[in-house]
Amino acid sequence: MSRLSTRTAIVTGAAKGIGAAIAKALGSEGAAVVVNYRQDASGAGRVVREITEKGGRAVAVQGDVSQSADVERVFAGARDAFGPVTVLVNNAGIATFEPLTAATAETLRAQVDTNVLGPLLTMQALAAQEDIDGASIINVSTAGTFSLPAYAGVYAATKSALEALTVVAAKELGPRGIRVNAIAPSPTDTEGVRAMGWIGTDLERASIANTPLGRTGTPDDYGPVAAFLASDDARWITGDVLLASGGQR
């Protein structure tokens, strides 16, 4: 029996990148996976196919995590398909990199809504389930909360808030056997990062020079970490922010 075969997992923002890799890793460990997406239905469908073609269980459910009604629909879809949700990966996120002098109320609100409010709503939805006996919540943060790089002020602030929520939620939900942890990835070669034109630049080379393991991260670096935190192997870990960054900090 695979170590997650009794789990139903929701992975938010799982149509591509880190979220897709985590969804596939959980599926390979036996979890029934709800691949949540906001806009990229084709990407979510591709992730579902990759899981099911290997004998796993998965469905795609659309929803904007910053909207309460959407979160309720995603959880209802998960329950209808597979039962109560016992693994939640809050991966959906928005990142805007710009000087503080260029930041606007609109960019701040967009990142707060997805990076902070979204995980709060999904954690509330998981905790509202009365028929679960323990669960694991994994929030995807960033190593930028340790390094605090220039031009990432708003993004790092929202992810710092997410890490604070992680620790507080672990304290509040621990008596119910619900563990809450966060993963803090370093810069990663995803579709979004490539779209920004970061790969191959002096900025990437500087990042690699500051990474003891000597490379940029890949989405597949984080799937096994999430699968571990979702499993009973991590049963004594909660309220932690795990720096998964090749040593960059």
pLDDT digits (tens, 9 = 90+) for 58-70: 999 999 999 999 9
Domains (range + CATH), the chain? 8-244 (3.40.50.720)
**Are 98 and 107 a contacting pair, CB within 8 Å?**
yes
The residues that are catalytic are 155
Across the beta sheet with 8-11, the strand order is 57-62, 32-37, 8-11, 87-90, 135-140, 178-185, 241-244
Residues 70-115 have pLDDT tens digits of 999 999 999 999 999 999 999 999 999 999 999 999 999 999 999 9
Q: What is the pLDDT of residue 1?
A: 67
Q: Show the beta-strand stretches assigned E in the chain.
A: 8-11, 32-37, 57-62, 87-90, 135-140, 178-185, 241-244
Q: What is the pLDDT of residue 196?
A: 87
Q: Which residues of the chain have pLDDT under 70?
A: 1
Give the pTM.
0.96
Residue 248: which residues within 8 A CB-CB, separation 6 or more? 143, 147, 186, 187, 207, 210, 211, 212
Q: Which helix (H) or strand (E) holds 195?
A: helix 191-195
**Are 103 and 112 a contacting pair, CB within 8 Å?**
no
Distance CA 62, CA 108 (A): 24
**Burial of 204 (C-beta count, 10 Å sphere; 0-12/13-18/19+):** middle
